[in-house]
Amino acid sequence: MGGSAYIDESEWIVIPNTHEPLINCEQFEAVQEKIKQRATRVFRGRGRKSLFARVAFCADCGAGMNFKNDRQSYVCSTYQKNTSKKCSSHIIKHDALKQVVLANLKDLIDNSLNMQSLVDVTIQRAGIKKNSAVKELE
Ligand SMILES: [Zn+2]
User: In sequence order, what are the beta bridge partners of 66?
Assistant: 75
Q: Which residue, among 131, 51, 60, 37, has the nearest Cα to 99 in the 3D structure?
A: 51
Burial readout 109-127 (b: 16 or more C-beta within 10 A, e: otherwise): eeeeeeeeeeeeeeeeeee
What distance in angstroms lies between residue 66's CA and the mean position of ligand 1's atoms? 10
Amino acid (1-letter code) at residue 82: N
Compute the distance from residue 77 Cα to the ligand 1 centre, in Å.
7
Percentage of the chain surpassing pLDDT 70? 70
Instruction: Say if CB 94 and CB 67 are below 8 A apart.
Output: yes
Q: For residues 11 and 135, what is the distance between their CA atoms, to the nearest angstrom?
A: 35
Q: Which residues surround ligand 1, an ion (CB under 5 A)?
A: 58, 60-61, 76, 78, 87
- How does pLDDT run across 80-101, given as a tens digit for each residue? 888 767 899 999 999 998 888 8
- For the stretch 12-47, pLDDT in tens is 776 666 666 566 777 777 777 777 776 555 545 554
* Model confidence, pTM: 0.46
Give me ligand 1 centre to Cα 65, in Å.
8
